[in-house]
Structure 1
Amino acid sequence: MSRSQPPLPIWLHWLESCPSTNSWAIAHLPQLQHGDVVYTPQQTAGRGQHGRVWHSPPGVLTASFVLEHIPVAQLPVISLGAGLSVIYAVEDLLPSLQGTLRLKWSNDVLLNGRKLAGILCEATASGTLGRVVVGIGLNCRVDFEQAGLDISTIGQAISLHQVSPLVPDPLLLLDRLRHYLLQTAGLLKPEQNTGESTGLTALLPALRSRNALLGHTIIVETGSEQVTGQAAGISDRGYLLLQLPNGEVRSFVSGHILWNHEGRS
């Protein structure tokens, strides 16, 4: 950053370039603290869910957030809370988009049915608590055509500059994202008296109201099968509910989603 600009916040680790902010954060995890953020304007080898490539052309905000003391039982729902954090952060800074963003279970944020952001959560656990690195890629000012990314490559992506004349400064976005992720982590911490977390219960109404998949026919890809059905909501444990053609309802803790709302993504 320019020397004339104010000093960076103590929680921010600014890298001019790196292959992957998640990889860097994981490699340096012993030196990082709860709430630390790793950011780069130039990520060269981003990683997505299920081993997929995360494309990071110029204009993508790429950052990783360190969260600590997360109950192991809550680790599967961190990506859902992170998705809400992205939604709230964007809507805080761009009020014109209030109510327009949706969550595609479990790790994508959609705007007008198109992918605005992707999330990759990677956790380590010790006993009953874990540390999580939450990687977020948010399309801010991306010229997909100039970057040479066609529709099939980018999964029907969209960038903030396509829908808003104003795109927030990266530092503002990082601050808001961090704010909401820390709130989520606080909700998921076990209560001192009971040892139980009530965080997911608090998040469920918002998760369900922002559920982009509800009612759509989708395919859930797991490591061993493809299952087709109608998305029937999000369970009390944060799992995806899928109603099969025979009426049976199955739940999935993880999986890759294919659907035809705006093409496969």
Structure 2
Amino acid sequence: MSIRSTSQVRLEVDIRLLGGPSVSGPRAVDVVPGGVKTRTLLVALALDAGAAVSTERLMDYLWEREPPRSALKNLQLYASRLRRCLDTANAGLSRLLAHVGHGYRLDVPAQDVDVLCAGGLLRRGVACLRQGDPLSAVTSLTTALSRWPVDGLAGLVPSAPATAVVALWRERRIAAVEHLATAKVALGAWEEAADLLAPHASAHPTRESLQVLLMRALAHLGDRVGAINVYRRLWRVLDADLGIRPGGEARAVFERLSSNA
């Protein structure tokens, strides 16, 4: 992918954050920044691609607790390491990491950051669904998930901001799965929807909306026993892990299935 730096020289770069941050360019593919703090710095800057991120915010990302007295000097060291990583991917990429005011900015467009690109496709797919265009939604959401091969961000400092963004992008990915299944159902592709949902329902057993979608898909396909088993698994997991019962929507589907026994 191409970007334009402040000097208007075109440079090739691909920032990959999913599954562990790396940088790709014509000179080298998948250059991984050395050290967890340098990798976390890349993630913090890339998630706000093109915008300045304050020194204070970056320090919150980089230190799980109170930053040390040498935090500012250390931040400069991590930025220097990140510049070397960028230049390893392609000579000249280091200029894309700019020190601006009281912070830093990574001068790349959102489409060159895998997770931001996937997020944009997710938003487009949801908009298509709301506009009654499930076919376009399937196209956007399928492409989004192809850029999203794993659950989310990994290998970061366990600080509060880093933990929050990991959770956010994990949630967005499973939401993309649900929206894609909904679009497939709208097109009458019930079997495709069930095949898509089944592994994710197993991986996220307490996510009720996912289980309800799978129950409905299986019921439509005539697998009443399978749909009821999904409900029973949901009931057991919610009871054991959270001490609660399935909500009204799940119960309503289950009761309809049971009444047709």
Interval containing the TM-score (normalised by the shorter chain)? under 0.3
1 or 2, which has the higher helix percentage? 2
Answer 1 or 2: which has greater strand percent.
1
TM-score where L is the length of structure 1: 0.24
